[in-house]
Amino acid sequence: MSNDIEVSVRSSNAYSLAMEAIRLMELHGVWPTPLNYEIWLYVAGDPNSALAQEIHRLIGSGEKITEEISESLASKFISRLKLNDEVRDAGLRLTRELASVSEVINEAQKAQKDYNETLEGARSSFDGDSDAQRLRQLVGRLTDATSQILSQHAHFEVRLSESSREVARLRKHLDQVRLEAMTDALTNLANRKSFDEALERHCDSDEGKNITLAVLDIDHFKRFNDTWGHQTGDQVLRYVASVLSRIGRAPRMAARYGGEEFAMIFPNETIASVERLLNEARQEIASRVLKRRSTNEDLGTITISVGIAERDYGEDAYDLLDRADKALYQSKNGGRNMVTCAASALKAIDAA
């Protein structure tokens, strides 16, 4: 589908498709940002797609298509469409390369068979005739056949080497496509899809027994965006992301969960150690004075609120995230710029 859109925006239908996307955005009160424009191009290009159906469902239920919702839709649908197209195209090229390899092998087998038949014929001639002239002719034929098979083998080796390099290149390309599809373009952190899959994976395996989850939110970000504009808001997002990226190296994971919200996974780390680490990060973020790049104006203090939850034995990803999220709201309601640890659900049940 994404290839169809890319073809359409370079065809005679480009302007009508663009106008329809803008008409739909205006109809539903959606700002024509680059991200929204890309989303609505897909909707205009394929009104029956899963993306279009989800947007119509949201609008039908009274939801306003906010920046956060747009980012969630793009992460869920557009990255997957692009990944599927890239994988499909690379798969077709890989199929062609494998067919080429198969053809080379078949040709080599046929050449070897012909060579064996030549040798067998020569052996029979040797057995039946010892005339010197005929022997010279047989030796000549064997020499020619040997030269031919050596030449063919050299040709086959070149073709196989080329195919091997192409297969390696395609594999590297696929790895890069997968990485891009799982990465947030603005912050270079993992995106929501990547985070959700990682959290599910941890909670479905033995690894998940001791993981600690954190959700983080930039305080008053909407007011900040309204005051300074989206470009400066992006500057703040990248700054916070850079701090989280530094402390979120593997086996930890840092992700942009949507809008101004981030999430982190800490495998095999206790809630106490994660609390100390994120308090240090919170203080570092608040201590730096950011300036607006275009005017060098002081942007004021940037603060974050954090909620942390340590996984209870057997707890699924949804419940763990829900407890961390509730801890985040306690930080928000408690005055912001703070870290709150969620109480264990199992301990609360035992206490009751």
By annotation, the residues acting in catalysis are: 260
C-alpha 239/C-alpha 256 separation (Å) is 12
In the sheet where 261-266 sits, what is the strand order?
253-258, 261-266, 212-218, 304-310, 339-341
Q: Which amino acid appears at position 326 of this protein?
A: K
Question: CA angle, 229 as apex, 330 and 180 as ends, to 5°?
Answer: 75
- Chain position carrying tokens 């039908």: 60
Longest dimension (CA), the chain: 108
- The answer to whether 152 and 110 are in contact (CB under 8 A) is no
- The answer to whether 302 and 285 are in contact (CB under 8 A) is yes
Question: CA angle, 57 as apex, 51 and 63 as ends, to 5°?
Answer: 110
- The answer to whether 75 and 192 are in contact (CB under 8 A) is yes
